[in-house]
Amino acid sequence: SGERTKEVNYSSPDRGTRVQVFGRVHRERKQAQVLFVTLCDGGGYLQCVLTGQLTKTFDALTLTRESSIMLKGEMWEVPLNAHASDNRELHVDYFEVIGKAPGGDDAITYKVQAKGDPQTLLDQRHLVLRGETAAAVMFVQDAVEHAFNVKYHELGYVKVSPPALVQTQVEGGSTLFDVPYYAEKAYLTQSSQLYLETAIPFAGNVYCIEKSFRAEKSLTRRHLSEYTHIEAELDFITFDDLLNHLEDMICSVLSITLSIPRIAAKIQDLNKDFQMPERPFTPMRYSEAIDWLREHGIGKEEGEPYTFGDNIAEAAERKLTDIIDRPIFLTHFPHEIKSFYMPKEKADPRVTESMDCLMPSVGEIMGGSMRIDNYEELMDAYKRHEMPPEPYYWYTDQRRYGTSPYGGYGFGLERFLAWLCKQHSVRDTCLYPRYMGRCRP
């Protein structure tokens, strides 16, 4: 159990250490003369054993799940078993209830019973989070975010914090959230990319971990209205450098995450089949993916076969990743279906120097590209995308004041976790999901 376990008084050499612990009743099981309490203190779960008179007190007889309690007793080393998950067991000789949780119809077990209705679980998300699966995902989320920070700092990247309130779009106007901003109009940012790019000249390679916002009209298992976006920009690179960096980044983040035994155990519980991805990741050009879909008879939603220029739908993309069943770098998307800032490939100007990383069962978890580094080309891109250049003057200045070949990318943390923790939906990999129709709790 965690930091709140205090060693007190004395050590008994034959049995164990005398301790006082605080936490909440995660589970209780009553046997003839014994009451087992699984205590959760945030640091983990601790099996506590109450015997004799202690099991007959009013507090013991009316003990409810999620009540907060204090216990004193001796900590024993025990063989690993399903209830004592860390070889320890507390033999209790004193306990107090601090905050009693309701029982009966209001008991937490009834509150979080879905009865086949996922909306109930979402309404009770604050209680669902006390469950082992939801909590494990949150622990992994913390570890993955930490691993990104560790790896970026190892590489000498500087972390900055771009604004969430902006007056420009990044990924198309259709998913912008408007916000009244004093007498002006503003949006919640779709991506920190453009601002991150402006940090390159003073900071070199840069990254940020911020929220991005998308007014997605689609209710899918991988779209949120607010998500955690891990973005980076790399200066003076080529497209191949970017791909190599990304593969290394993903594998390093996974190794750092798995090097924490407690987290590795949680990933193992959540995702029994998890294996480190094999390198190199499978490279596949967009045009090859279109051929692959045609060969496998996977068509568009309306049933027609895919042709060059089509956006590959989520379902088709998932079939591709599930059948190939390993990480894929899907590259060189046509410029018509991609963002304004993506440069054309020299060899085939129909396509851009862009890439998505696709993972089995989830599909796209990351999107990136080189950035147009030429002033005229950028002005053309604004025109093609019907974007008035004025609000972007600060972005355009990047091309005027010492331009350079560079590129970057963004990971959706919730999607990364859906893959790593084998969760069906990104709604299960964030603390409180936001999507069309849900903004509570």
**Cβ-Cβ contacts under 8 Å for 164 (sequence gap 6 or more):** 188, 189, 210, 211, 213
Give the residue from 70, 66, 67 showing the smallest Cα distance to 20. Answer: 70
Instruction: Kindly determine how many residues on this chain lie close enough to bind ligand 4AD according to the rule CB under 6 A.
Output: 24
Stretch that binds Mg ion, among 7-15, 132-140, 172-180, 362-370 (CB under 5 A): 362-370
Rank residues 89 and 231 by Cβ distance to ligand 4AD and give the closer one. Answer: 231
Determine if 371 is a binding residue for ligand 4AD (CB under 6 A): no
Residue 88 Cβ vs ligand 4AD, minimum distance, rounded to whole Å: 39
Stretch that binds ligand 4AD, among 24-32, 179-187, 275-283, 407-415 (CB under 6 A): 407-415
Residue 345 Cβ vs ligand 4AD, minimum distance, rounded to whole Å: 17
Determine if 368 is a binding residue for Mg ion (CB under 5 A): no
Of residues 36-65, those binding ligand 4AD (CB under 6 A): none
Determine if 368 is a binding residue for ligand 4AD (CB under 6 A): yes
Select the residue interacting with ligand 4AD from 16, 23, 334, 408 (CB under 6 A): 408
Q: Taking the mean position of all CA atoms in its chain, how far away is CA 383?
A: 35
Reported as type and span, the H/E element at residue 231 is strand 226-235
Q: How far apart are CA 165 and CA 61, in angstroms?
A: 54
Of residues 412-431, those binding ligand 4AD (CB under 6 A): 412, 414-415, 426
Rank residues 366 and 381 by Cβ distance to ligand 4AD and give the closer one. Answer: 366
Rank residues 216 and 291 by Cβ distance to ligand 4AD and give the closer one. Answer: 216
Select the residue interacting with ligand 4AD from 223, 266, 332, 427 (CB under 6 A): 223
Determine if 412 is a binding residue for Mg ion (CB under 5 A): no
Whether 154 contacts 147, CB under 8 Å:
no
Rank residues 256 and 426 by Cβ distance to ligand 4AD and give the closer one. Answer: 426
Determine if 334 is a binding residue for Mg ion (CB under 5 A): no
The DSSP output letter for 344 is B
Q: How far apart are CA 336 and CA 45, in angstroms?
A: 53
**Cβ-Cβ contacts under 8 Å for 127 (sequence gap 6 or more):** 108, 111, 112
The partner residues of 24 in beta bridges, in order of sequence, read 40, 68
Determine if 170 is a binding residue for ligand 4AD (CB under 6 A): yes
Residue 178 Cβ vs Mg ion, minimum distance, rounded to whole Å: 22
Within 13 Å, how many C-alpha atoms sit on residue 277's CB side?
25
Q: How far apart are CA 420 and CA 258, in angstroms?
A: 11
Stretch that binds ligand 4AD, among 24-32, 141-149, 226-234, 240-248 (CB under 6 A): 226-234
Residue 420 Cβ vs ligand 4AD, minimum distance, rounded to whole Å: 13
Determine if 327 is a binding residue for ligand 4AD (CB under 6 A): no
Residues in the chain: 441
Q: How far apart are CA 300 and CA 392, in angstroms?
A: 36
Determine if 200 is a binding residue for ligand 4AD (CB under 6 A): no
In Å, how far are 305, 308, 339, 346 from 292, measured between CA atoms?
11, 12, 24, 24
In Å, how far are 61, 222, 225, 440 from 431, measured between CA atoms?
34, 15, 13, 11
Q: How far apart are CA 283 and CA 243, in angstroms?
A: 9
Rank residues 23 and 363 by Cβ distance to ligand 4AD and give the closer one. Answer: 363
Select the residue interacting with Mg ion from 363, 367, 412, 433 (CB under 5 A): 367
Place of tokens 């209705």: 117
Stretch that binds ligand 4AD, among 3-11, 118-126, 290-298, 409-417 (CB under 6 A): 409-417
Contact residues toward Mg ion (CB under 5 A) are 367
Contact residues toward ligand 4AD (CB under 6 A) are 170-171, 191, 193, 214, 216, 223-224, 227, 229, 231, 364-368, 408-412, 414-415, 426
